[in-house]
Chains A and B, each alone.
Chain A
């Protein structure tokens, strides 16, 4: 079709040769080779904007009231595009249509929106239940140059309050998470005495990582078995206290090759907190044991007791995995599978399926826009750390059209992707599609998860249940 269009276009150009068309445009139309390509012009990228990421992060913290300094639609847009898309979740008491918003219109573009923001902050503190107020400024005030910082400072004595310059055009949802924590670190956190055994978890982005709630809970539970005090920041009622105690940690644990890295580095610079990185939230026994070993090595915990714990946990998990044996071997042994997900989820699920249940990795599409500098590391996790003679083709692609074209070249029976792939999975020969990444319109996710020792069992329950019947 592209060729036909190009031919027709060229014919049109000739017909219109007399028309006064500027050369640069004519060249763009006539010659594909001279056309400037904009790779970021995409069909349905699987994330929202920086404002959405900062907003989700705020909503992830219980008691944090987001105050949107933006157009009126920015919150509703994210209710649909980030919260519903993030596992069909409501926004909770401070999210969705409950979220205060300055509702900027043309007059604020011309005269500025600072006064409007001032009145909104005042009324929000009066009316909204909350422990900390987070002003998230979007595209419009950034373009018109509102001095958000000065307005926010007027309220410093009234309530805990921070501001995040999170114009949507600054980046995607993942960027919004980083901007939020940069603001927290700069505006809220002060040095505190180190609490022995306290660790913070970074790298899990609320709503964007659709398993965020269950994953964090599972990670906390398993690390508690090492005797640690685990600050997962999100979901718990003590949201503000969780933020404030971040600098008291002995260690920061980043569960992503790139999300949360900036926060961890900044905390290291400002408070000297060391950090370790794991490639993702661990799925199943092998990865979870790796987490326990890495964390205890970083904290110099006695190796013997850690190995005892690992042995007990693994014995128990594999004892349950035995029940999987018949249905998997008889109904569905060694299928090819492909994954479309964010970096951490893709690594966790691919490694589990390849390394623990004998599935054969075909294509792994990393769809979160992982930065160039971490891509080699991601590829290594998906090849060197995949114990299979078949190594997956790793594709970095954010454009849903090109992702679809890539999947068409494969032939996987099992497709672990987003709900975008649900209606078109049969195009790729897949007989099982399950949603494991954003967006997830076809799965409600409250605290379900694939993390920790039990995570692999949950994943197999979900995959095999899609296909099994009488043997």
Chain B
């Protein structure tokens, strides 16, 4: 992370005395929109020129609370979540009881567990008279009902704008509550970037939940795993780490509170998604001396090798890791080679299959080299955001796969539909955050599973995941009937002129 100091492009250190983190915009010059060559993006970033901009046309795309936190924090097993918000802010949390139930007990899901969340259900009179007593009641009620080990309080736009003193309520009640209370300052209006919500959550975890290490656990590897990583990804990571005598500590989803408390005792914090895990990793190093690395993620053969080597360095298992890599390659490399052959044969003229995905920063760094590895070409990448936290890594990526176009666009569906139509890749990788851009003539599949998927075909991490993912992508080329039918038989969201003009950022405000 030498370049951070050199360019002063990322705010150094984490201040746990503050009630919350700075926004990504401040902390790392996070931006919400940009389009052009990756080399140019890196150049502008280094010159400190990047800044968030306004659009005249914008589509709903997620806030600090309602993109990730509201959907998944409810899966922390012995905790309770309180939404200090109007009732709609937690509707996305209604899947809580079902999210992990599809995982068979035979694959390691505990048979019995119970999850809890409560809304303070802020109403019109609360907006006038304040909702502080409701929050206090909710905290006591959560304790009475569920006896949780931790209570997370998630703030909202409304609790923020009406000036609710969440910290005050927490400080006042904590002496009388057994559960550790963790306020998370994730009101939607605070930032243009959903990533600010991750940092706000980790800030609360670091400040209120992680305990001083009681012992060092030399075999424990912290892995922060978010919604796009499946149960099979966990099993694969557990398998390969287990072969060299290491154990993953997966947080936050479906973790127990105890697993958060132990974060300080681990040997290293390893990434799945650097942009997601950055704040936690740095905080754990600063406060408890737990080392970390942010690149690479264990996606694809080469990146998994490197990921394991880094972990080997931090745990003194360099030799065991080399042996593991050799063993794994014997099994998996021939399978990847065969898949690569199949992809390269499809067009028949030596041309590669092209693939375009809408990626978070983490997948941007991890998936492009993987596509390269299996013989796919990525003419461009769409990233939901960009910030200086991954500057070095993007440079490294350009060195690996060459220059590419990048559209940073916080899930703006019209822009994504435009660039998908313009670049016309053989496979478009979509997730629900791309509006109607799935309707097309060519290949289409999902970018990743969005649930606690326990099917082997849904894995993407590690060696088994590389083979599963390549197989999955190949399979997507076998039928285009759904997307073609929908293209020809249903209405598009946008008027024709949108696709006839050349600029996906047509509505970017020129002045700031």
Contacts and interface: CB of A to CB of B under 8 A. Distances in A.
A191 to B, nearest CB: 32
A285 interface: no
Given A128-B494, A419-B98, A73 B91 contact: no
Given A76-B62, A97-B59, A45 B121 contact: yes
Interface in A331-373: none
Contacts of B67: 73, 76
A168 B88 contact: yes
Given A77-B91, A123-B56, A43 B117 contact: yes
Given A5-B144, A85-B95, A93 B137 contact: no
Contacts, number: 278
A297 interface: no
Contacts of A389: none
Contacts of B88: 48-52, 74, 77-78, 81, 168, 173
A47 B126 CA distance: 19
Contact of B92 (A46, A80, A140): A80
B121 A43 contact: no
Contacts of A168: 86-89, 158
B348 interface: no
B133 A101 contact: no
Contacts of B62: 72-73, 76
Interface stretch (B187-195, B324-332, B420-428): B187-195
Interface stretch (A218-226, A377-385, A420-428): A420-428
B507 A123 contact: yes
Interface range, A side: 35 or more
A418 to B, nearest CB: 9
Contact of A42 (B86, B119, B147, B435): B119
A44 B147 CA distance: 17
A144 B87 contact: no
A410 interface: no
Interface in B16-31: none
A98 B415 CA distance: 10
B482 interface: no
Given A45-B87, A139-B157, A75 B117 contact: no
A97 B143 contact: no
Contact of B492 (A1, A5, A93, A108): A93
A98 B56 contact: no
A330 interface: no
A42 B65 contact: no
A130 B126 CA distance: 37
B124 A170 contact: yes
B123 A40 contact: yes
Contact of A97 (B101, B172, B432): B432
Interface string A131-145: 000000001100110
A93 B61 contact: no
A128 B127 CA distance: 34
Interface string B117-157: 11111111011000001101110110111010000000011
B57 A43 contact: no
Contacts of A123: 56-57, 507
B178 interface: yes
B164 to A, nearest CB: 12
Contacts of A439: 94-95
Interface in B169-211: 172-173, 175-176, 178, 188-192, 194
A93 B63 CA distance: 22
**A-side binding surface: helix, strand, loop or mixed?**
helix
B134 A41 contact: yes
Given A43-B116, A170-B124, A127 B189 contact: no
Given A41-B120, A48-B88, A120 B56 contact: yes
Contacts of B87: 45, 47-49, 168, 172
A394 B90 CA distance: 27
Nearest to B91: A81
A284 interface: no
Contacts of A424: 97
Contacts of B54: 116
B66 A76 contact: yes
A100 B57 CA distance: 7
B474 interface: no
**Among A12, A72, A82, A124, which residue has the most Cβ atoms of chain B within 10 A?**
A72
A45 B190 CA distance: 26
A85 B94 contact: yes
A102 interface: yes
B162 interface: yes
A82 B95 CA distance: 11
Interface string B79-120: 000000011111111111110010000000000000011111
Interface string A400-444: 010000000000000000011011100000000000000101100
Interface of A: 1-2, 5-6, 8-9, 12-13, 16, 19, 21, 25, 28-29, 35-38, 40-52, 68, 71-82, 84-85, 90, 93-94, 96-106, 108-109, 116, 119-120, 122-124, 126-129, 139-140, 143-144, 167-173, 401, 419-420, 422-424, 439, 441-442
17 contacts: A5-B143, A29-B140, A38-B134, A41-B120, A41-B141, A44-B93, A49-B86, A73-B62, A80-B92, A85-B91, A85-B94, A93-B436, A98-B59, A103-B61, A128-B495, A168-B158, A401-B145
Given A109-B189, A439-B94, 6 more contacts: A40-B123, A73-B65, A82-B91, A105-B189, A127-B494, A419-B98
Interface of B: 54, 56-67, 70-71, 86-98, 101, 116-124, 126-127, 133-134, 136-138, 140-141, 143-145, 147, 156-158, 161-162, 172-173, 175-176, 178, 188-192, 194, 410-411, 413-414, 432-436, 490-495, 498, 507
